[in-house]
Structures are given as structure tokens and as C-alpha cells.
Amino acid sequence: MVRLALLTGLGRNRDFLKLWAGQSVSLFGSQVTRLALPLAAVLTLHAGAAQMGLLGAALLTPYLVFGLFAGVLVDRLRRRPILIAADVGRAALLAVIPVLAISGRLRIEHLYAIGFLFGTLEVFFEVAYQSFVPRIVDRDQLTQANSRLQLSDSAAQVAGPGLAGALVQLLTAPVAIIVDAASFVVSAITLVLIRTSEAPHSSVHRPGAWAELREGLVLVVGQPWLRAIAGCTATLNFFANLLMTVYILYATSSLGLPPALIGAIFAVGGVSTIFGTMLAGPVARRLGIGRALLGASLVIGIAGLLIPIAAGPGPVAIALLIGTQVLWGLSRPVFDINQLSLRQAITTDRFQGRVNATMLFIVWGVIPFGSILGGALGSTIGLRATIAVGAGGMLLAVLWMVFSPIRHLRTLPRASDEAAA
């Protein structure tokens, strides 16, 4: 795959290759935190379902609080310094966790605070990142670039969780997080090495911040295809996070699975994500981009229903959990890559930053509420019932595609002011 990429025009783009390399390392490290952070809360601090919900909310609330503002700021400032500052800040925050753990002073409140600050930096990084890629990649290569970056994410999902589980057992969960801190440092270094210049954005004839916020919201909500993408993705994210808030607790306490096996289950699902990434383009060409999005969202919902069926640490339960990860791995990249390509195709350049911020605000802003509700339901109706609610809600997301004209879309249209407005 890497060799194939290097033979293309995109592979000769040195700045993109630097960005790709740094993000690949960072994505790998983040897989460690994805498993180690909740395990640190559960195994080291003995957090319950409600506390796990609050931790998830702390990480993702910044998308709701700062998401739209980040879009305006990113459109007004140079993006690369924002990316570098966010990487350095996230590395420093994660490094605090093992220091507190080794000194015996780590508390769940520390994880809440670090999680909120980390999530805030993540918001600014993601908005700047999605807006920076078009700066270093030609517009006709954006889909290819997004696929390469998604492929790195998929590869990280294969190797990361398995190693994370082993690191947690060997070093303890809080100490294992230092791996992710180091990966952010590597990402920051590669960003420093990028040579693409960025001219400061002119403030002449620019409306006020609130007017710019409104423009982004009106665009996403008013355009039928963008509205369907936002609604479907937000519904998937809300209920998936409701489910995942209690997933680790369910796997460890209800099913009795050890950390290493949980990591291996995620890793197996990661293998299918690689194939899902490779299928994204062919599926869209064969079915049409609209039907590809509809079918992928349907499979995502159906796959979640396998989790509450699992019972006990036996092979059947493990097989069901693996089956969910495999189906998610095949379908989610098909959905993500094609919806991102469609967003980029129908949005003119002058709206790209605000569209990115507004989409992140909507699709990630709902997640803290899913975390809080998942924690509350886990404490009241039980872990398996909570997971069933989450899985059922994910299945409902497909209705956004069923009742939208997007289902009839065959190919990517061209950007135009009429389509974007």
C-alpha cells in the first residue's frame, strides 16, 4: 500500500508525506490511550458506570463548547502553528497521568480535568487539520489523501489495541499512556518540517464572528445532503458512545475478559478496517455514493446488535464481539471516506473551514450526552440493557439516509456556490 502511494503524484508531495508520517505515528499512539485511559479508570481507580460516563463526557464536551468558535479562529489564523501547539499540549497533558500514578496521587478528578483540556486541544487540532490538508494537497487529490490517512488509522487499529493490552498488563494502564504522549511529539516535529507557506487571512470584508458561525450552521443544516450526513453521523456517534461508555466495564465485569483479550478483539476488528478502507471507492462506484452511504450505515447498526447477545467469557461471546468489530471495520470506512469526499466535493473553498467546524460541532458535540446517558443507564438498568439501547439507536441512524435525496446520488457532484449555499 505504501509503495503504491509513493508511485502516485500524491506520493511525490513531500509535505503530505511528512504529514502522513506524523499522523500515522500519532494515530498508533492514540490507540494505546483509547484502551489504557478507560482501563486506568476502571482497574486503577475502580470507576463505576456513572464515572466512566463523566470521563467520556469530559473528553468530548469541548466539541460542543468550542467547536464552532474553533472554525472561525482557524479561518483567521495560520493553521500549522495551531496544529503544532495542539500536539505539544496534548503530549504534556498525557505525560501528567503516569507521573501522578507513579507518585500515588492519581484521582478520577484528575482524569476529568486532563480529559477536558485534552479534548479542547483536540477540537482545534481536528478543525485545523481538516482545513490544512487542502493547503498541501491539490483538490483533485483530496479523496486519495483522505483514503491514505484513513488507511493509517486502520493500520493503527490493527497493531495498536493488541500492543495496548499487553502494555497495560506489563506497565499498568496509567504508565502505558506515555506512549501516546511520545507520539504527539513525533507528530509535532513532522509538522515543523512542512515547508508549505500560509499567507495570513485577510480580515477585509469579513463579517463578525457570530455571523461567520451562523453561516456555517445555515450551510450544513440547509443543504439536504450535508444535513443527512450530519444527522446520520451524529445519531451513530451518540448511540455508539452510549454503548462504548459501558463496553469496557461490560467486557471486564460481565464477560470476565482480561485486558489483553479485549485489545486483541479490537485488533481483529482493525484488520477488517483496512479492507473497508480499500472497499470505499469500489463500493461507491458499484452502488453509487448514495446507496453506499445508506448500506454502510445499515450494516453499522446491525453489527451493534451482536454485542448484547454475548454472555460469559466463552468462545461464542468472544466470536460475537469479534463479529461486531469486523462488520464495523468493513462498513465504517465506506461511510466515513465517502461522506467526507461528498462534503468536500459540494462545498466551495471559502466555506471549507466553517463546514468542517460545524460538522464536528454536530457529530461530535452530541457524544458527551451519549456518554452521560450511557453512564446513567448503566447504573440503573444494567450494562447489557444499556448496550442494547445503544445498538438499537445506532440502527435508527439509517433513517436519515432513507428519507433523504442523497440515496439517489450516483457520483460526486462539482462544487458550486449554488450547491454550497
Residue 4's pLDDT is 47
Residue 104's pLDDT is 87
Residue 421's pLDDT is 41
DSSP type of residue 351: G
- C-alpha distances out from residue 13 to 16, 197, 302, Å: 5, 14, 40
Give the helix ranges, DSSP H, for 202-314.
209-222, 224-245, 247-249, 259-287, 289-304
Q: Which residues, 6+ apart, have CB-to-CB distance to 263 below 8 Å?
A: 35, 161, 162, 163, 164, 165, 166, 168
Residue 418's pLDDT is 41
Residue 204 backbone phi and psi in degrees, to 5: -70, 135
Selection from 350, 347, 70, 348 nearest residue 206 by Cα: 350
Domain coordinates in residue numbering, the chain: 13-196+209-420
The amino acid present at 179, given as its one-letter code, is V
Residue 419's pLDDT is 45
- C-alpha distances out from residue 377 to 234, 308, 365, 380, 393, Å: 20, 14, 20, 5, 14
Contact between residue 36 and residue 177 where contact means Cβ atoms under 8 Å apart? yes
Residue-level pLDDT, tens digit, the chain, 421 residues: 444 444 456 778 889 899 999 988 888 888 788 888 888 888 788 888 788 888 888 887 888 888 888 888 888 888 899 999 999 999 999 999 889 988 888 898 999 999 999 989 998 998 888 888 878 887 667 777 888 888 888 887 777 767 777 877 777 777 888 888 888 999 999 999 998 877 655 555 667 778 878 888 898 899 999 999 999 999 999 999 999 989 988 988 888 888 888 888 887 887 888 899 889 888 988 999 999 999 999 999 999 999 998 876 688 889 999 999 999 999 999 999 889 888 877 877 677 778 888 998 899 878 878 888 998 999 899 999 999 999 999 999 999 999 999 999 988 776 654 444 4
- The CATH class for the domain spanning 13-196+209-420 reads mainly alpha
130: left (phi over 0), alpha (psi -120 to 50) or beta: alpha
Residue 417's pLDDT is 41
d(CA 48, CA 35): 16
Selection from 242, 248, 247 nearest residue 39 by Cα: 248
- The DSSP element (H or E) to which 174 belongs, if any, is helix 173-176
Contact between residue 358 and residue 64 where contact means Cβ atoms under 8 Å apart? no
